[in-house]
Amino acid sequence: MHKTNQQGRVLIIGAGLGGLPAAYELKQHLGAQYQVTLLSDSPKFTFIPGLIQVGLGHIPLEHIQLDMATLSRRHGLEWLQGKVELINPEQRLVMTKEGQQIDYDYLVIASGAELATDLVPGLGEYGHSVCNPHHALAAHTAWEEFLQNPTDLVVGAAPGAGCFGPAYEFLLLADWELRQKGLRDQVKITYITPEPYIGHLGIAEVHRAQELTEELMRFRGIETITNAAIAGLTPNTVYLRDGRAFASGYSMILPSFRGAKFVQASGLGNEKGFLPILPTQRHRDHDRIYGVGVSVQLEQPDKTPVPIGMPKSGQMVEAMAMVAAHNIAVELGIIHKPLETPTLEAICFAEFGNTGIAYIAAPVVADPVTGKRRYSYAAQGIWVNWAKIAFELYFLWKMRLGLGLPWFEKLGLRLLFGLKLSSPVLSPQTSPTQIPVTNS
């Protein structure tokens, strides 16, 4: 059994957008009193939003990856590589496929989710995605082949998908690249989505989001199909549940997600494998387990004709990581402050070639009583592209330096966009922005 010689250990499963910032925040709070351990099946940290550019061949994968062993040595973290198979919450043990048994005092699950490609026949075989490094590299290889013989392009999302931003970015960046190469007239582009309208992105009634996004689609000559359920793919065709079919020489279809297999195997998830959590990010049934990011269960309040999930943007994931670290430190008696909950106020910078759109929702989930947000809006311009590039460089810089969510980042989000990432928890059991439910 892998044990620590220090007072105790906080173990984090996953070293991505949630796991690594959580580790840095915990290290800052806990100092030398507790060992902070990162466990992941990948030796690299990957900046997931950058995979869209990788899929289109605009940047190499190495530009958005960092070596976890190097980062861990530099910042006093313990690094373990392994694939989790089972968690025993009673004994506080994590078992890996490689035979490791790792004890913990507190556990943070930031493993992300599994891609449910099996729910749409042919999706795994004939559709591409940019959800992980392996898929992005495969998408790039196929994209280069497509450019040699361009035909029809279909981009979209499967029923139950929750994060639509990457689909819009891939769609409009692909359109822009085809224009730059003088190939656009040869390609019919279709966007197929379960969203009720263009620009919904899993978040209803963001001011001007529909207007700006629909106008851009019309201007670029892209056919759009909403309230659509993709039922299957073959090598050259995308089929809908209503019987319509669309020819496609290249398909980029975002799948729906389900929770990690080990979460289900350990009895910690709902029927889809997502972690039911309290507003503090603590597991609903296990007080030593916290959930962060795509692995957690969030309600989609907008009941649409075709089911969609709830988006969990990178900023939302970071806020969850910060809150989980803070609350663990509070429970350990290291810091003496109130427990916190993430506000789930978010901004998404979407790059579309010669322009971009920023989507802001504060919060993402409207108040369940009033149905209102503090505010929401969408804004368009080339500045969005510059902001996204700057944020990517900044994020990788702070990961190298061992910073989670520093005070100046929180201040900048507050001053520039009016966003606040966390607030004192209203109740350990309920909150307007996070209510445990059975659907995701």
Do the domain assignments include residue 248? yes
Residue 34, in any domain of the structure: no
| pLDDT tens digits for range 60-117 | 999 999 999 999 999 999 999 999 999 999 999 999 999 999 999 999 999 988 999 9
Which of 162 and 340 is assigned the larger pLDDT?
A: 340
Say if residue 1's pLDDT is above 80.
Answer: no
pLDDT at 374 over 80: yes
Mean pLDDT rounded to a whole number for the chain:
93
List, for residues 147-163, the tens digit of each pLDDT value: 999 999 999 999 999 88
Q: Is residue 241 part of a domain?
A: yes
pLDDT at 440: 31
**Is the model's pLDDT at 438 over the cut of 50?**
no
Listed range (116-120, 138-142, 361-365) with the worst mean pLDDT: 361-365
pLDDT value of residue 429: 58
Q: Is residue 302's pLDDT more than 80?
A: yes
pTM of the model: 0.93
Better pLDDT: 50 or 434: 50
Q: Is residue 22 part of a domain?
A: no
What is the predicted pLDDT for the residue at 313? 86
178 in a domain, yes or no? yes
Q: What domain range includes position 176?
A: 117-254
The answer to whether residue 240 scores a pLDDT higher than 50 is yes
- pLDDT at residue number 431: 39
Average pLDDT over residues 224-246: 97
State the SS3 of the chain. Answer: CECCCCCCEEEEECCCCCHHHHHHHHHHHHCCCCEEEEEECCCEEECHHHHHHHHCCCCCHHHHEEEHHHHHHHHCCEEEECCEEEEECCCCEEEECCCCEEECCEEEECCCEEECHHHCCCHHHHCECCCCHHHHHHHHHHHHHHHHCCCEEEEEECCCCCCCHHHHHHHHHHHHHHHHCCCHHHCEEEEECCCCCCCCCCCCCCCCHHHHHHHHHHHHCCEEECCCCEEEEECCEEEECCCCEEECCEEEEECCEEECHHHHHCCCCCCCCCECECCCCEECCCCCEEECHHHECCCCCCCCCCCCCCCCCHHHHHHHHHHHHHHHHHHCCCCCCCCEEECCCEEEEEECCCCEEEEEEECCCCCCCCCCCCEEEEEECHHHHHHHHHHHHHHHHHHHHCCCCCHHHHHHHHHHHCCCCEEECCCCCCCCCCCCCCCC
Q: Give mean pLDDT, residues 35-58.
A: 97
CATH of the domain at 186: 3.50.50.60
Q: What pLDDT is recorded for position 366?
A: 83
Domain for residue 392, yes or no?
no
- pLDDT surpassing 70 at residue 329: yes
- In this structure, is residue 382 part of a structural domain? no
Q: Is the pLDDT of residue 263 over 60?
A: yes
Residues with catalytic roles: 163, 348
Give the mean pLDDT of 416-440.
62
| pLDDT at residue 179 in the model | 97
pLDDT in tens, 391-426: 999 999 999 999 999 999 999 999 999 999 999 987
Report pLDDT for 371: 78
342-365 average pLDDT score: 94
Give me the mean pLDDT over the 32-44 stretch.
Answer: 95
Q: How many structural domains is the chain composed of?
A: 1
> Is it the case that residue 245 has pLDDT exceeding 70?
yes
pLDDT over 60 (residue 3) = no
Judged against a pLDDT cut of 50, whether residue 140 lies above it is answered with: yes
User: Where does the pLDDT of residue 178 fall: very low under 50, low under 70, confident under 90, or very high at 90 and above?
Assistant: very high
Q: Is the pLDDT of residue 433 over 60?
A: no
pLDDT score recorded for residue 4: 52
Look at residue 200 in the predicted model and tell me its pLDDT: 96
pLDDT at residue 18 tops 90: yes
200 domain-assigned: yes
